[in-house]
Structure 1
């Protein structure tokens, strides 16, 4: 089946140091575009945005921290 590409937004919230975030975003870029020196457009057009949690509303910060708790060991 040949599906028409659609716009998607993937959100990943995490608690990490700035160095960890930088390393992780580098890995995202390598995964999405494994050959950054390719000619022309990427096979998967993409954009990456990193937002520091302090810029989010208190409610949004609490909501994301609650979601993150689901991934932590009990």
Structure 2
């Protein structure tokens, strides 16, 4: 977490969602999450609560640049890897 603003007690939090998906499924889920965070994408000005979203490519997972070792292990066990 980034430093907390002492004036308002707010800080930056990261929420991670690990899933095993095709590129198309990942982009669909990314779009759905974006609409949940901002149901009116054409609104004026920034969102009330600033946010961002990203999809980590499989290469990053394969190289261990994330914290999804358990997800990869489960996919291997299920034969999906």
TM-score (norm 2): 0.66
C-alpha deviations, 1:5-46, integer Å up to 9, x for none?
Answer: 321100111100111111100001100010011001101100
Q: How many residues align structurally?
A: 67
Query: Stretches of 4+ moved more than 3 A in 1?
Result: 58-61
Q: Gaps (5+ residues) in structure 2?
A: 1-7
1:21 and 2:16 correspond: no
1:10 partnered with 2:15: yes
The CA deviation at 1:63 is 3.4
Structure 1 residue runs without a partner (length 5+): none
Greater relative contact order, per chain length (Cα 8 Å cut-off, separation 6+): 1
Higher helix share goes to which structure?
1
TM-score (norm 1): 0.71
Q: Report what 2:49 is aligned to.
A: 44
The residue aligned with 1:64 is 71
Instruction: Quote the Cα distance in structure 2 between the aligned partners of 1:10 and 1:22.
Output: 17
Q: What is the aligned-residue RMSD (CA, Å)? A: 2.6
Counterpart for residue 35 of structure 1: 40
Offset, 1:4: 3.9
